[in-house]
Structure 1
């Protein structure tokens, strides 16, 4: 995982973000910057881990996550302890390495939220992601996972 993450300063003036409680704002900033985060914004993290690393109790974490979900900033799957930061990819550079990283996040994350990431970023059209061998392999693996699911 990256040791450095940048955050767009316009986050603070976003109308969805402005309306959040201090707990939800802290959780969102944490989800964007913690060492467990992946480039795609799809990764496993328990609510307990969020609480430990932000010094919040379980009720504060669950309330903050509920606000973030309602504001359509994140999705969270309790069954797999997986978070998806909905617009995490929006400000990333569109490089081959980044695209492969996102594809791998989807392929190796056993969560219903993986499908949400594919839909959100229109990753159904693999052709726009390139046609080299690595991306072709990722496509075949993803199509195989869809048939199984």
Structure 2
């Protein structure tokens, strides 16, 4: 999973952020986007690392951390040097198996178990579950760390949180793209499956297009599926693909234009119609020679009508801003 963080543009308009000093805004962004951050919002961040990243001295680092603890935005454990971004799950959790698996792995690496319990509890309150972590929590014990019961070492979490509802985009954009890709893959499968008995017809059209013109893409497949709805006789569509290739065109819209032209000007709506009105008695398409190649004169004649139709279509699209 790519290691980057997105910050929503409304971050700068949030009431809490507007009241921060420039130094605090910078530090808040740092806490959400530094190289140690994780999908779950709990990560190790020693003082010396903050000093190296930000250029602040130890005193300034401690002052800023304490300030954001008081703001209710973070909790910091000095014993394990871990930080938890409070309510990170509320605004950045992505309920997908891949992301859950990543979060489980991260949580199992967290040393300060109360952070894990707090995170899992927040997920349950939001209606999400990470069952694996919930089970392992009963087996995983708190690591041996110096006693902090006297208040030293662990910076307390002082009061309830009212974190602003900003989507800080914890790898959300990448996950959204992956979800869209999955949806497209699902739709593409539907394209091949939704035609039912004519699934083989779709594959024949696709394979012929791929071998004759170019490798088809998802948009082409949707168009092919649509053409099959209007022209169920797939052999007619294949003939239109042949003419498209003969005329040196490479887009599926040209195939559609040929079919429309045949239907409107010649009443050709099936392969049988095409055989009667376009094909020669020996089975060779009009305008083709005995080797199946289109002759120069016939190519000009055969392409004139459809070229004019396609050019008019382009003019209409431009006139309407298409």
For the criterion TM > 0.5, the same-fold answer is: yes
Range moving further from structure 2, 136-145 or 69-78: 136-145
- Contact between 1:80 and 1:110, CA under 8 Å: does it hold in 2? yes
RMSD over aligned Cα, in angstroms? 2.4
SS at match of 1:83: strand
CA displacement at 1:144 relative to structure 2: 1.9
1:73 counterpart residue number: 73
After TM superposition, list the pairs within 5 Å mapping 1:132-143 onto structure 2: 137-143=132-138
In the other structure, the counterpart of 2:121 is 119
TM-score by length of 2: 0.39
Query: How many residues are treated as equivalent by the alignment?
Result: 140
**Alignment of structure 1 residues 1-149 onto 2, 5 Å:** 2-89=2-89, 90-111=91-112, 112-122=114-124, 128-129=128-129, 137-145=132-140, 148-149=141-142
Secondary structure, aligned partner of 1:144: coil
What TM-score, normalized to structure 1? 0.79
Could you tell me how far apart the structure 1 residues matched to 2:27 and 2:135 are?
36
Shift of 1:14: 1.9
Alpha carbons of structure 1 residues 142 and 39: separation in structure 2 relative to 1, 3 Å: same
Runs of 4+ with >4 A deviation: none
Q: Which has the larger radius of gyration?
A: 2
CA 1:102–1:3 in structure 2 vs 1: closer, same or farther (change >3 Å)?
Answer: closer
Would the aligned equivalents of 2:74 and 2:86 in 1 still touch at CA under 8 Å?
yes
- Cα displacement (A) at 1:99: 1.6
1:132 corresponds in structure 2 to none
User: Compared with structure 1, are the counterparts of its residues 2 and 32 closer, same or farther at alpha carbon in structure 2 (3 Å cutoff)?
Assistant: farther
CA contact (8 A) 1:73 1:85 kept: yes
Kept after mapping to 2: 8 A contact 1:72/1:86: yes
8 A Cα contact 2:107 2:133, kept in partner: no
- 2:64 is paired with a residue whose SS is helix
Higher relative contact order (CA 8 A, sep 6+): 1
Deviations 1:48-84, CA, capped at 9 Å, x for gaps:
2112101111122111111211111111111110011
1-side partners of 2:88 and 2:34: how far apart?
13
Give the Cα–Cα distance (whole angstroms) in 1 for the partners of residues 124 and 104 of structure 2: 12
Change (3 A) 1:87 1:12: farther
Q: CA deviation at 1:137?
A: 4.3
Q: Is the 8 A contact 2:42 2:115 kept in 1?
A: yes
